[in-house]
Structure formats: structure tokens, C-alpha cells
Structure 1
């Protein structure tokens, strides 16, 4: 089918939105270098803008772009070969290899790209930045805004990550079965870190970044589509169930609304239903993992119509299992809050005080905020004020700071 110039340009833009990450993933496989593949991607779409208005949009735009990008890269290598003889050899090698662009191969390329960006040999912050850039197509400026960093800092992380992949000869592949558990865990951690930064930002004026959480959910869906693992189901369920409450987490002024005070009628029931189905599938696997258990805890909240109906005994039991599987002070803190809801604030306070006495979570504002709330409920007002002040010294997110300040002012 042939298009006029304007329609063809619109088609190029639509194909870019739908296919550019797939094309980039395949070009990275074919060319063996992130920067070379990104340059080839740019050249391929530039060629499309020139040729498609005259010749029409090809029947398989993705294959056309991969082929165009590959040959543009070979031409570029040949032009530079007069300065570097090794580039001539590389160009000849690339030209001699088969151009594999079958659908299954391309889908595998997307999975390879995720595992490469999240390789455990890369620093954690570099994994996140490279994943958002290469897989999600966020700009350096968008990533910098999301993590309250300078664009130059994010750019350096991405450059260093690419150099590390190149210099360490990190394989662009899906790990073998025996390697998969450790490597998959790294991928899931990166995706959940991206989600959490969008769902509950670590600092700044806004509580949430919907676009960042949406990118993490999109990655989770992609990973589940390509790798139907129980822990992938658990992570996607966890993100969907959390994100379903987004509209109720803040009021019109942008202030924090506690879970028990949220208007549950505005929760996204479609996302909740999808999340609950995934939780059930994940929990019926032979050995449910930490993400599946966390999703099951969130599901207990999502299944009831009011906070008063929450089955806190079941939540405590789930935390017990989670602690046995993946012990951490944060999980202990969350379990302590659940125990307080089941057995009363004194029981929860004892557990929180034990945590703080060990030195765990001393610099974590939520541990002091939880302690302050339990002291408030026990009527120990002077101690509650001190705990709220300790939390305020540590909090970095403005809506949380305002919430804690209001609580403190109520007691004063």
C-alpha cells in the first residue's frame, strides 16, 4: 500500500512507537554493540522517512528496519575502516552473517536485552538507568527527573554500563536454565525498583510517578509473555495490585491518604481482578517465591470492601512465611504493624522496639513513623511526639513529610 508523504511520516512515527525497542534489541544482537545499534536504529528510521513516502510502507516494517539498520551500520564501519583496519574485518563479518529477523527470534531478542541490561556484573543504579533507556525508551532527561539526578550523572551511568558490557564481554543471551534463578532475580529486582520509584518516590514533591510505574508494569507483562515463571507472575500481580490503589492514595491537595482511610470505590477493579488471578496462579506453583507472597499480602487488602474486614491474622501468617523465605528488617517491620492490627498496639510496639534496639532500620523514617503511631494509639503522647520528630528528620518525600507534620501537630 502506498501513502502520501504526511501519512507515511505518521506511519513511521507509529512504527517507531510500536517497534523501535524490538528493532533495537535485534540490532544489538546482530551488531554486538549498544552504541552501534542505536546509531543504526536512528539511520534506519531516517531512511524510512525518506523512502516510505515514495515507495510505500513495507509489509513487514520491523524486518525492513532491521535490515536497513544492519546495512547502514556495515556502510558506516567501511567508511571508518580507513582509520581502523579491524573495523573492515568486522564489516565483512557482519555482512557474511545471516540476517535473522523471524518473529520468534525478535521476541527472544527483547528478552536477551532485558537480561543484558540487568546483568549482575553491572552496578544496581546502572542496571536501572540502562533498562529504562534501552528497553523502555525513556530519555536521559526523563530518567534523571524520575530519580532526582542530574542528566549528566544518568548519562555517565549509561555510558559506563555499556562499556562494562563491552569490555567484560557480557553475553547477549538468555541465561541457561541452571543460571536462570540468580539472573532472573536481578531482572525482577530492577523492574520492582523502577515500579517503586514511580509508586512511592524516594524523594521529591510528588508521592507518585504514574508513567514510571506504567513502564515497570509494561516490562513485567513483557517478561511474563516471554518467560512464564511463577515469580514473574508474582511480581506482575504485586505491581498491579499496588497500582490499582493509586487514585486513592492522595487527596485533591496531593496529601497522603492512609490505606484504612482510602476510598475503595476508586480502586481499579480491573487491575485488581487481573492481579488476583495472577496471585492464584503463582501460589499454586510448587514453591511460591517472595514476590508471590508479597502479592498475596496485598491481595488480602484488595479482596475486602472495607478496612474493618481485613483479615490481619492471615496477613501475619503470610509475613511469617515470607520472613522464612526472604528475611529482612523491612519485612519484620511490616509484620510488626500487622501484629499490632491483630493483637493490639502494645504487641506491635514491642516488636518495633526490638528492631530498633538491634540497630536495624534506625535511619528508616517509616520505622519511627510506625513506632510513633503505635505510641499514639497507646496514649503515650510525649514518646509519640519524639518518634514523629525522629521520622521527620529522615523523611525525604514531601507528602509524607506533611502527613507526619500534621500527626505531630495533632498531638501538640
Structure 2
């Protein structure tokens, strides 16, 4: 098994196994350490002994055994007198397999536990991404536009808070469910964003993370079909419908203007549009519904040239009032440029430089808009900065091609 294949397996099974193990103990560090032990055993054994038929089930079984080993250690038992009860519980259910229906509920409990209001907002999201999906602190740092060290500190403090406050491992009810839902939706959206343009590795996207985000939003929608839950689901559906056209057989990145729209899944686009329109009739409009409306305009445009940029710009104006952020303002500038106001867009873009200093899409957008106003030196420098900040090799190759074309003009 190649390292990339093993990494994919680990991330696919990580949240499922952690969710299942939390039925025995809520010690997240202990669970993750046991799972890491199981992964190391797999790396050592599988090349010589061969892979088991069910890789996920094997990891689950070995994680339980490695957890028992850790629970039996004298230093752990000294500080955790309840460890024998955990061992008895695991051994009593030793034959229990990973059941998808049970795991769905367990993962929903896990995501709400990680998103508890007793935790700082950014720590909730970071912990869920780390615990539920097995993302690295580096990947999570990219989503937050912050350093890996800072993100690791947030995750560590969040785990400590869960222990100290004895935060219950359960799905909230009533008003608490409404209060904690926005953080859960933000987590799911960040998971999907990471799948849409994976930071690490050679491929442009990570389909298994997208599948995880879709599964989670479906679970949440089944529990609470609010307008924003439906809006986020529609947003993800619009993006997923266009996924087949984003990359060709040679793994070359194909930007939206050049995509073959005949490859888009029109049935999925129609379903997303129906879901979005139904959510818009339910009352106040939230940020996910607005983003879905923007994505819907892109998805339903017959061609890039026929995209309704004035309407998209108007929606970004609304989005800024609902949920202002430098990234939203960046997208607003891009829409303004395509409305034929590139000079004005570039001026606004310049004001975002400090906020988006380490954000690769900022420099890619700056380069594109600079080309529109014939500032080619600025565009070259911006492309170079975007390439430097890009860790995905497919994106890097695309941006390098754009830079080379500009250098050869």
C-alpha cells in the first residue's frame, strides 16, 4: 500500500473509529493515541503479511486492543481509577463491528461535543476537523489563515477544556441545538472547502473529504432542516455538480471559465436550485443561502461570458452585510472586476493586502485583476507569491503556466 493510499484510509476511517470509541471513554487523547498505535502497526505489518479484507474493521479492532494496552499501563491507572471499567466495557463488546447507522449517530454526537459553546469558536472548529476527519494541524491552519503552532495550541486547550468541564458526549436538544448549529455548519463547510482544493498532495481535490462533508450535512439536515442547513447543502451540491469538469485525465486544473459545462451534473444542479429556493421562502436569509445563490448563478450560466456578474456582485454586497470577512471582500472585488470595473476592484483589493498576507487565492486574484488593467509587473509578482504559497502540486502547475505565459509576452 502506497503512503498516499494509507493516508486516505486513515482520514476516511478516523472520524468513524473515534466516534465509535467514544462510547467507551471520552478521553480523546487516549483514543487518538490508540488509533495512532493501530496505524503504526498497519504500516509495519501490511507490507509483509498483506492487507486484511476489511481495512477499516481491522483498524477498529486493533485500536480497541491498543486502547486496552494503554489503559492497563500503571501510570494511566494511577490517574484514572475508572480505567478497569473502560477495559471491561471494551472486552464485553469485543465482537462489535463498525455499524454505519450507529456510527452516524456517534459522529453527530462527536461533532456537537467538539462544537460545545464552552469552547472558543475557532477551537471548536479546529478540534472537530482534527478529531472527526483526521486533518493535520497544517491543513486546519490554512483554513483559519493561521500558523500550525497556533492551531495545535487551540486543539490542545480545547481537549483539556472538555476534560475539565466534563462536557457531555450527546446531541443537544431545544434551544441549545439552535445555538450550537451555526458552529457545526461552519465545520462542515470547512471540511468541504478542504476537499475542494486539498492543501497537501499531488491531486487537486480529495473526494473522500467531500463525501464526509456531504454525509454530515445530510445527517444534520435529517435532524434539523433549517433554512441555513438547506442553504449549505445546496451550496455543496452546486459545487459537487461541477467537480467532474475541474480536472482532466492528465490531472490538469481547469478553471471555471474554461470548463466543459456538458460535464456538469445538471440534475444535481436542478435539485440544489429547488432546495435553495425552498429555503429562501422560509424567512431571514443567511450566509450559506447567499453563497449558494452565487454558486447557483455560476452553475446555471450557459457560458462564462453569459454569467450574470452584476447579480453576483449584488449578492456579495448582501453577504458582506450578513457576514463580513476579508475573503468575502476578496470575492466581491473579483465580481466587481468582471462587471467591467477592474480599476475600482484593484483599488479595493489593495486594501485587503494586510489581512490576506498568507492567503494564496488573494495573490492569484490580484494577478488576474492586474492583468486586466495592464499592470503586468504587479501581476508577475503576484503570481510568484501565489505559487510560493501553494502546496497543492496541481494548482502550482496551473499558476506556473499562467506566470510563464505572462513572462513570454
Q: CA deviation at 1:369?
A: 1.6
| 2:363 paired residue among 368, 388, 405 | 368
For structure 2, the 5+ residue unaligned runs are 1-14, 33-63, 90-100, 142-148
Give distance in 2, aligned partners of 1:404 and 1:22. Answer: 36
How well do the aligned residues superpose, as a CA RMSD in angstroms?
Answer: 4.3
Q: Does 1:392 align with 2:393?
A: no
Paired with 1:198 and 1:256, the residues of 2 have a C-alpha distance of: 15
Cα distance, 1:144 vs. partner?
5.4
From 388, 395, 405, the equivalent of 2:400 is 405
Residues of 2 paired with 1:374 and 1:84: CA distance?
59
Q: 213, 216, 233: which one pairs with 1:216?
A: 213
Give, in angstroms, the shift of residue 25 of structure 1.
Answer: 6.3
By relative contact order (CA 8 Å, sep 6+), the higher-ranking structure is: 2
Residues 111 and 128 of structure 2 are in contact (CA less than 8 Å); yes or no, is this contact kept in structure 1?
Answer: no
**Mapped partners of 2:129, 2:380: distance in 1:** 38
CA contact 1:107–1:226 (8 Å) conserved in 2: no
**1:305 matched to which residue of 2?**
302
1:256 counterpart residue number:
253
Q: How does 1:18-57 map to 2 (within 5 A)?
A: 28=22
The equivalences for 1:10-409 within 5 A come to 28=22, 87=82, 111-120=108-117, 121=119, 123=123, 124-132=125-133, 143=135, 147=139, 164-356=161-353, 359-409=354-404
Take 1:256 and 1:89, find their aligned partners in 2: how far apart are those partners? 53
Q: Is the 8 A contact 2:370 2:378 kept in 1?
A: yes
Q: Would the alpha carbon gap of residues 175 and 404 (structure 1) be closer, same or farther in structure 2, given more than 3 Å must change?
A: same
Q: Give 3-state SS (helix, strand or coil) of 2:352's partner.
A: helix
CA distance in structure 1 between the partners assigned to 2:371 and 2:331 by the alignment: 18
**1:85 and 1:377 mapped to 2: Cα distance?**
64
Once the two structures are overlaid, the 10-residue window that deviates more, 219-228 or 269-278, is 269-278
8 Å contact kept, 2:237–2:269: yes
- Structure 1 distance, partners of 2:137, 2:267, is 30
Runs of 4+ in 1 over 4 A off after TM superposition: 21-38, 82-91, 104-110, 143-149, 153-164
Counterparts in 2 of 1:86 and 1:397: CA distance versus 1, 3 Å? closer
Q: TM-score, normalised by structure 2?
A: 0.69
- 1:108-164: CA deviation from partner (whole Å, max 9, x where unpaired): 76643331133352734322122236xxxxxxxxx5599599xxx999999986665
Larger radius of gyration: 1
State the SS of the aligned residue for 2:252: coil
Q: Secondary structure at the match of 1:309?
A: coil
Provide, for residues 365-395 of structure 1, a one-character-per-residue CA deviation record: whole Å limited to 9, x for no partner: 2222212112212223223222222322322
Inter-partner Cα distance in structure 2 for 1:334 and 1:326: 13
* 8 Å CA contact 1:118, 1:128 repeated in 2: no
Q: Secondary structure at the match of 2:189?
A: helix
Whether the aligned pair in 2 keeps the contact of 1:329 and 1:361 (CA below 8 Å) is: yes
1:245 is paired with a residue whose SS is: helix
- Asked whether the 8 Å contact 1:365–1:394 carries over to 2, the reply is yes
1:191 and 1:220 in contact (8 A); partners too: yes
Give unmatched runs, 5+ long, in structure 1.
1-20, 39-68, 95-103, 134-142
Distance 2:186 2:266 in 1: 26
Deviates more, 1:160-169 or 1:398-407: 160-169
Helix, strand or coil: the match of 1:175?
Answer: coil
